[in-house]
Structure 1
Amino acid sequence: MTTLRLRPEDPADTGAIRRVLAAAFARPDVATPPEVRLVDELRGSDAWLPELAMVAEYGGEIVGYALLTRVQVRSDGSSRPALALGPVAVAPHRQRIGLGGAVVQAALEAATELGERLVVVLGDPAYYRRFGFDRADRLGLTSPWSGLGEPWQALVLPPSVSGEPAPPQGEVIFPPPWSKV
């Protein structure tokens, strides 16, 4: 029986993660997909949260990846922290067996355990709805991708303690590596 292991990435996983991202986002017109470069650049930034970079290891092989990194939500001259989900990738030979959903769920659970309150994503609404994501504009969130409508989504994570303030509303500011995607 092949076992699935979900865990934060280890520095030794970098090459395997790059291969998964390159295969999952491969395009004939691009040697290195922008998602590979995005992860490489985020690793060297203040947005990087190593405990929220999750891998799916299936049969001892890294075949899935979900990354949560720090973003800021600005409103009324102040900023509050939130997270951005992406990229999410599964090696083509292991797609359609639930590994993507498993690694995303593991990342969201880890964020909840750390007391995070808000996650944003740009992606397929039909896919991300299963995790509880909804249109970000309904939560008072804007970004450079707001004009895309339904693909600009957000998820409010459960509070770690009762009485915790509501999740932030305002403009979501992504770290500089995101501007290249």
Structure 2
Amino acid sequence: MSTFTINIRQETPLDHAAVFELIEQAFANIEYSDHKEHFLVERLRKSEAFVPELSLVAEVDGAIVGYILVSKLSIKNQTSSVESLALAPVAVLPEFQHKGIGGQLIRKAHIIAQELGFKSIILLGHAEYYPKFGYQALHTFSITYPFDVPKENVMAIELEKGSLSNVFGMVEYPKEFLE
């Protein structure tokens, strides 16, 4: 088995073209994808939801092989709004998948999000994959999801223990997710 060193760092504008291609390749053969994740990232970079420190690339030998974006969202009810984060997307080039790169990107994003003071992250993803990183089904909290998707695929993690225990309402994504 070949070993390689992975460098995870914040994305820069010079990385945008490589990241666009990487995301397109990573999702090309994914069944439950609209195959437009690369366009979502472009829209989010220009939005108020964008957190530059949470737009990360993974490099191997100077080449970008993985990417993760974690951006702001809200959990709202009639009287309050709580800021949270959305993990979307995490992408790894097909030839580098199943080597732990996505997991390293997720763990690094969690650390940075905590350092920035964020308390939770919500995602729509594979029910078997994300629980390895501490994600729980969203329906175990008092939070609802705005789209009709299988409940086992919508998850959240408390970056600060108990941060979602008194939160109730519906996830509200930035408009860039809906375009």
| TM-score scaled by length of structure 2 | 0.89
Gaps of at least 5 residues in structure 1 are none
Aligned to 2:172: 173
Preserved contact between residue 64 and residue 99 of structure 1 (Cα < 8 Å): yes
> 1:150 aligns to what SS in structure 2?
helix
Kindly state the Cα deviation for residue 166 of structure 1 after the two structures are TM-superposed: 5.3
Kindly state the Cα deviation for residue 92 of structure 1 after the two structures are TM-superposed: 0.8
Q: CA-atom RMSD, angstroms? A: 2.2
Aligned 1:1-181 pairs, distance under 5 A:
2-26=4-28, 33-145=35-147, 147-158=149-160, 168-180=167-179
Structure 1 stretches of at least 4 aligned residues deviating more than 4 Å after TM superposition: 163-167
Matches of 1:167 and 1:51 in 2, distance apart? Answer: 27
> 1:66 aligns to what SS in structure 2?
strand
Matches of 2:151 and 2:105 in 1, distance apart? Answer: 25
AA of the residue aligned to 2:7: R
Preserved contact between residue 65 and residue 93 of structure 2 (Cα < 8 Å): yes
Deviation per residue, 1:84-140 (Å, 9 max, x gap): 001110001111111111111111111011111110000011100011001111111
Q: Percent identity?
A: 36
Gaps of at least 5 residues in structure 2 are none
The size of the alignment, in residue pairs, is: 174
Matches of 1:77 and 1:127 in 2, distance apart? Answer: 34
Kindly state the Cα deviation for residue 75 of structure 1 after the two structures are TM-superposed: 2.1
